Structure 1
């Protein structure tokens, strides 16, 4: 069968419209930025931008045995200028390759900058076509961002990847932190609510943390841990939530994935552990006699994970008592978080957004004074808790004290 000349000409002519790799970039020409840190230079209006760049010699696949063994896994380059983009561009004076941001995973903000305000910080991120809006955001608690990125961590050779993974694991299993990205914060700053950002703290000796020997000692001289949640008021860091207050905020934010709650068993304090396996929170905002009426409703399910006392799951009364204790503890933690946020006039739970959605006319009148109205409003918290499973063991091997 002879080929059709028409189709042959059509295929050949289509080649004229193919652009090919006109904008290709060789890997050897790129400096891959994996993490970024932004600080405010003290007593000035300038920013210090710190870029964590992967050292390709230490992560190259198939490198010769021992090659790159004594090299640093990542390198920090910093520059100072009045705008963030200028500081980014200034870094090109120190790096021999073109900056490549497509793999950036983390943005670290120094606590002094967070207290000064985030309003002007994210404009560049939203306008740029290079930066990733899905990068996780954390606050360097008690320090500047550069110090946090300088710490070399064990297990993960790249510091930014290590911080991001710790944040993800902690938020999923312990629920005293939240994993938020650049887009989440922009929506809050440009909308009606306030952002909430997890904190990362340096533990140990910071002077040894930026040396390779830190990864060769167990435990390491210096480590980075998730620590609390920063709440904001008018775009400025207003307070830190820690422990049960932070977990209560996670419940209120409807970001609870899993955690462990310890409750009392008779005279034994916190002798029973219940693992939260599912949780849903609904926010409601209504109007009554011209005043806002706010409420949070939580529905959760748990498993009995551990008991340091005799307990019989077949006894319905005992299980109902467990569920009641879980309900009370959950409500107590949420209310403790609400107390702090209302004192700081920080509506992190989205009541303003819900009020604007359900009562748009009234919201126009309330909008201007919402921080004050939120701080003065009563928030009703209701919790519906269930204990679903008891694990592989039904009846405990431990005998009651009265036997």
Structure 2
């Protein structure tokens, strides 16, 4: 019995000692919230900028206690021939160990992305300390500036950017791509990477001071960056992204602004709900083809030309306009993918592979060329059923006292 107790005590001691191995105190870590990647000051150098949170100062106080700066973040930059060397160079002047596990976002400058992001994908997917659920974006601005500027409602800019992408499904201004998605698209022979695009804009602030209105940089969603392999080949504007999102992500609510049926100068706003989007591949005469089907219902949430539910001819006219606008939206983005960028960022190859794996093997090597001539037919259906329309027009003086 004594030997058994001794064994138990020995194992407990081992477990207790194991807990201290590799232990990292929070006060010894520099927690990275965002990272920016730019071209270096010299050829073949890369510049890394880390946005590091100041836990003691990231409370939003207006005054800083003794020994503190009052700034919620500290930004540090270093250069190197490789990303790893640049990061190691950060440690030459950081008083804490740089810790990447809490990083929200990776921002890549577009000039660097045009030369290729293979090394970026390789590094951030190999390092076990880095999360694969980190957002990845491109920007026409300096990435170092994007991650070093306090913007939005959040105290820590990295957290503000993270939340910006959580709710981008409402605005549909940019895709939501994480490192896991980027790696999958880059390694795939049936899809191409598509990254969100962000940029600086001058915005006012709520607590305005004299001369400060509109003088502050804010980060906003600005469309998408289209890749071919690991190189950025072009960008999509925010309104074009609305046609891309259904191909690559789930749909939430949407919005359409249409002219009034009888007065084109006046506008109405339609909220799109219960959207359903499917892409069905087919294979005939050794050629792939795709049928794109989109269905939605809508509510008139704002109108400069009030009318009632009983005016079915006007309701039908609005439904036809909805169908026409959405059909053109999808056809335009398909044309741009096939003939302008020649890049399958719509993931049509992936859809075809899922249904026709054997046929895919024969054309995978030539998919870039085959994709450009594949037939894509778009069908749209729109209805206004759950509507905010009243039974009768809301004309002035229509209520009898």
Correspondence list, 1:96-175, <5 A: 96-140=95-139, 142-169=140-167, 171-175=168-172
CA distance in 1, matches of 2:32, 2:7: 44
Q: 1:219-242 deviations in whole A, cap 9, x for unaligned?
A: 443222111111112222122111
Q: 1:296-330 deviations in whole A, cap 9, x for unaligned?
A: 22222322211110221244443333222211111
Aligned to 1:234: 229
Mind listing any 5+ residue stretches in structure 2 that lack a counterpart? 397-401
Aligned to 2:366: 369
1:130, distance to aligned residue in structure 2 (A): 0.4
1:257 counterpart (238, 252, 256): 252
SS at match of 1:25: coil
CA distance in 2, matches of 1:392, 1:11: 75
Inter-CA distance 218–10: structure 2 relative to 1 (3 Å threshold): farther
CA distance in 2, matches of 1:394, 1:99: 63
TM-score by length of 1: 0.87
Aligned to 1:223: 218
Worse-matched range after superposition: 359-368 or 66-75? 66-75
Correspondence list, 1:76-91, <5 A: 76-91=75-90
CA distance in 1, matches of 2:202, 2:269: 31
Inter-CA distance 43–339: structure 2 relative to 1 (3 Å threshold): farther
Aligned length: 386
SS at match of 2:300: strand
Does 2:264 correspond to 1:268? yes
1:288 counterpart (284, 288, 292): 284
> CA contact under 8 A between 2:337 and 2:346: conserved in structure 1?
no
CA distance in 1, matches of 2:251, 2:41: 37
Correspondence list, 1:4-403, <5 A: 12=9, 14-18=11-15, 19-41=18-40, 44-59=43-58, 66-67=64-65, 71-140=70-139, 142-169=140-167, 171-191=168-188, 192-204=190-202, 217-265=212-260, 266-269=262-265, 271-342=267-338, 343-391=340-388, 393=390, 395-398=392-395
> CA contact under 8 A between 2:58 and 2:156: conserved in structure 1?
no
Mind listing any 5+ residue stretches in structure 1 that lack a counterpart? none
CA distance in 2, matches of 1:329, 1:270: 17
CA distance in 1, matches of 2:317, 2:275: 19
1:65, distance to aligned residue in structure 2 (A): 6.5
CA distance in 2, matches of 1:119, 1:226: 24
SS at match of 2:385: strand
SS at match of 2:20: coil
1:28, distance to aligned residue in structure 2 (A): 1.0
Inter-CA distance 74–333: structure 2 relative to 1 (3 Å threshold): same
SS at match of 1:247: helix
Q: 1:53-73 deviations in whole A, cap 9, x for unaligned?
A: 012231259x89642785322
> CA RMSD of the aligned region, Å?
2.9
TM-score by length of 2: 0.87
Inter-CA distance 30–243: structure 2 relative to 1 (3 Å threshold): closer
Inter-CA distance 132–254: structure 2 relative to 1 (3 Å threshold): closer
Worse-matched range after superposition: 172-181 or 243-252? 243-252
> CA contact under 8 A between 1:175 and 1:257: conserved in structure 2?
no
